[in-house]
Chain A
Amino acid sequence: MIRLPLALFFSAVLFSSGVYGVLARRNAVMVLMSIELMLNAVNVNLIAFSQRLHDVTGQVFALFVIAVAAAEVGIGLAIVILIYRNRETINVDEVNLLKW
């Protein structure tokens, strides 16, 4: 039985790594993977609290998140591929079309 604080701590580390990855990495694939990390950090939290509170709702949400994350990665990678095709790069610094 893993104790709750441990699980939370693990989740926080995981999330922070994700945030770091999203904000700092230049490679779009890495950014997507970091987002994946953040989502899974949330999943860890949901499972942990579900266990602790004997409420199955958390697990259901976790399954949802996994599904959404899969979809997100799918679309995200597709976008990345398109960007690569158009611009020969997947460096997010160079993709600033949303600029004013």
Chain B
Amino acid sequence: MSGWDKSAISIATFLPLVGAFVIAFMPRDRERLIRGLGILFTGAALAVAIAIAIGFDYGGSGLQFEVSARWIDVIGARYHVGVDGISLPLYLLTFVLSFLCAIYTWRFVPNPGRTKAFLALQLLLETGMAGTFIAFDLVLFFIFWELVLVPMYFLIGIWGSANREYAAIKFFLYTLFGSVFMLLGFLGMYFRSNIGGAHTFDVIQLQQFAASGGFTQGFQVVVFAAIFLGFAIKVPMWPFHTWLPDAHTEAPTVGSVLLAGVLLKMGTYGFVRIALPMLPYAAQKYAPWIGLLAAIAIVYAALACLAQKDLKRLIAFSSVGHMGFVMLAIATLTPIGIDAAIFGMVAHGIITGMLFFCVGSIYDRYHTRQIVDLGGGLMQKLPYLGGVFAFVAIASLGLPGLAGFWGEVMALLSAFSPASSLNTGLFRGYMVAGGVGTILTAGYFLWMLQRVNMGTLPDKWREAALPDVLAVEWVSWVPLLVATVALGVFPRFLFGVTNEAVTALMHLFGG
């Protein structure tokens, strides 16, 4: 264990926090400097994260870059962090998206300006998100989890659009409501755990304790319900999704990107990392219900998308459907399902993040998000922006060869043959619902493209001087576009990373 192995992920995780402090002490009027620092710090963190990914041993299934230091002795909470194949893709995604958002901020700072606070909060958010994916101690996990709420609350509440305060408060309180139950669940597990006579918050130890049958069935059923609520709201699963369209619609572009790209994954990641392996019995009991909610979400969100008049709201609702696929995959409790779920998370992060970038840039040009007001002809006026938008929309509807496809198809495949303890017929029913959902998804995306991209440009925009995709936009988008194609053509990039860890996890699970 070299010093690098010990410190790398802590450096990457906390570098943005340092950046937030540095930016906070910069003079307010040095706009360029502040924006440059934002790019610098996110870039540096990304560089460290990439170095971690390079140094990662892809053959191993265990924790790497692991650090377990004393932290709060009284309750036995430790600073236990590390990455494995499940968290690495999401960890990396966090840094990539944050970096691209910082680049995007170089040119686009939403009203009312105040770049300093905007970037500082963005960096703080990055630390929270990244920390969630590496925490292997429930207390640490919970702290990172909650740390994310505050900056996002301000990002929506200050830099959002018209109805921002309502959306921000709704987002904050709804998520907090869930996480309170989650915390109770954590505490329940802490007090029931018994590792050599002591209680523990350690994720690995709790997993092993659970695998040896440490938690009684009744206890699991109760605690799972509590934890489920916390994660399900974050995902968000139907019917807990209503905060999402509001938050997304009101949030500034980078807020939406990070919200869709990373924040939602914290919920699904929680299911994979905590809920399933620690409460295996309850997971099996609840899986049919989770699957049901996921299947409903897929069809329901697609239908709701058809009814949306606001472009951004439409994209927001599409997230509900895509996360439905992820949850359906998780509910099957199979290695294929978990792999598919992680793939789906990353793909959704890339593609939907990109969609929000596009919508943000469209709004930046037109100052409206209403599909009727846009009136079509985007491809005539702004061919590159329209082209990118169409490409991403098509990626999002699950075209093979692009990233969105594999998560969806493997999710459906896993639903075709779920874990042996689950009712196969039931899950095949969910699979059919998912299949119908993909048709509807194609329907609403193509209809959206027809109404926004195609047709002739309304007269009111004909004379307007609207710039096409700017250099800074290309810089922040191209990596995502490339990743969309790369993951679609070579899914191995991702499945190869996750497979070992997922298999190990499922062994623990007894599946």
Note whether A and B contact each other (Cβ less than 8 A): no
